[in-house]
Amino acid sequence: MKIQTTAVHAGDRKPLGPHTPSTTPIYMASTYFYETTAQLDKVFGQELDGESYSRYSNPTNTALEELITKLEVGSAGTLVCSSGMMAVQIALQAALLDRRKSVIASNALYGASIKLLMQVLAPFGVDVRFLDICDPDAVREAIAEEKPGCIFMETISNPLLRVGEIDKLAALARGCGAALVVDSTFATPLMVNPIALGANLVVHSLTKYLAGHGDVLAGAVVSDEEHLPVLRQLCKTLGPNLGPFEAYMTMRGIKTFPMRMERQCQNARALAAWLAMHPKVDKVYFPEDPNHPDAATIARLFPNDLYGAIVSFELAGLTEQPEVFAFMDRLRMVVRGTSLGDVHSLILYPAMASHRDLGIKQRLRMGIKDNLVRISVGIEDIDDIIADFSAALGD
């Protein structure tokens, strides 16, 4: 089945005795029992399939995990978590559990991921080295020096939209015995399947495009065969579980995700082209740009006409935060918010939100200037989106 059909049908309609619910119910029970203690013992021992305790598994969550596994081509299983950041943490823990505690990470990451690496994992003895993940020579040199247990990157980086060669990085990781962990939130399974390209673990913030309506906080780690038992054991021990209500809401959102994402990608292309011609815009960051530094990789890995739904741009002549705030406040339809992937368009100021806790010098080294804003383009009519930006820019 194609992804549009899989998103609608996978995971649902498990028989319950003589009847079958058309959508997966919300199982709120924390504990499950059986007719005999011997049956429960076999469930605990994994001799029988079944539920025992919701920290171990939950039928609603299991249905969502089955759905996501079907969406991510090449994967062996999925663990859904309480947030995208929880998914990042448990993916890195699974990658490093039996490997050298050393991470080579992209120097273009979501700010909270950088904080996790530097302020949580590093104090626990994990060596972290940041580099340009799009520079293969730099990666090879770092591998030779660090002998990492894990390589960590984003499919499309936040917020400057760099794109690394996942398949080639996966080969380098295999060559040194490291695991490749990929945060693919911006790309979604509609655009790229990192495990099919050789990655070991893939992270999604389900809060974003997959759930898609701004009403769920959730994350997922999608795994290859090797790391799935480790993920399951970490879940049983650490308890990063997603609630069943949130699992149900996410599953409902995913049913329309391919249709929404296609529309959002289409709108983003049109908005990026319009902004690129505007005299009050210094620079537009969008993967379709033929001058994009990773254009060859994008052409090779991305489907035709799907470049993601994030557009970042620098405002011409604005150098102070209050000036950027004034521009954002003039928007009347586009929402000023810290998330992305909703059905409505959102604008974020990275220096204030996603990368707020980084030092100014570090932000500037990453290329995140004080006049940079990031747009998550929604499904509204493109004429209305452009009209809102046109008015805010003073046309």
User: Does residue 211 register a pLDDT over 90?
Assistant: yes
Give catalytic residue positions: 55, 110, 183, 208
- Say which residues have a Cβ less than 8 Å from residue 389's Cβ, sequence separation at least 6: 271, 274, 275, 331, 334
In this structure, of 45-59, 143-157, 217-231, the range with the lowest mean pLDDT score is 45-59
Q: What is the pLDDT of residue 233?
A: 95
Q: What is the pLDDT of residue 120?
A: 97
Q: What is the pLDDT of residue 357?
A: 62
> pLDDT tens for residues 379-394?
999 999 999 999 999 8
Q: How many CA atoms lie within 13 A of 380 on its CB side?
A: 18
- E strand residue ranges, the chain: 77-81, 102-106, 127-131, 150-154, 179-183, 201-205, 219-223, 281-285, 310-315, 335-336, 346-348, 372-376
* pLDDT higher at 111 or 9: 9
Q: Quickly state the pLDDT bin for 330 (edges 50, 70, 90).
A: very high
User: Does residue 355 register a pLDDT over 70?
Assistant: no
Q: Quickly state the pLDDT bin for 15 (edges 50, 70, 90).
A: confident
Report yes or no: 379 and 264 within 8 Å, Cβ to Cβ.
yes
Q: What is the pLDDT of residue 356?
A: 63
Q: Quickly state the pLDDT bin for 358 (edges 50, 70, 90).
A: low
Q: Which CATH superfamily is domain 258-392 in?
A: Aspartate Aminotransferase, domain 1 (3.90.1150.10)
* Cα torsion 297, 159, 104, 96: sign: negative
User: Does residue 167 register a pLDDT over 70?
Assistant: yes
* Cα torsion 214, 215, 217, 220: sign: negative
Q: What is the pLDDT of residue 17?
A: 81
Q: Give the DSSP H or E segment for 248.
A: helix 244-254
Across all residues in the chain, what is the average pLDDT? 94
Mean pLDDT of 239-253: 97
Report yes or no: 217 and 246 within 8 Å, Cβ to Cβ.
yes
Nearest residue to 244 (alpha-carbon basis) of 30, 22, 5, 2: 30
Mean pLDDT of 29-56: 92
Boundaries of every domain in the chain: 3-254, 258-392
| Domain boundaries 3-254, corresponding CATH code | 3.40.640.10
Question: What are the distances in angstroms from CA 246 to CA 80, 86, 221, 227?
Answer: 10, 15, 16, 25
Mean pLDDT of 88-100: 97
Task: Tell me which amino acid residue 305 is.
Answer: D
User: Does residue 364 register a pLDDT over 90?
Assistant: no
Q: What is the pLDDT of residue 354?
A: 60
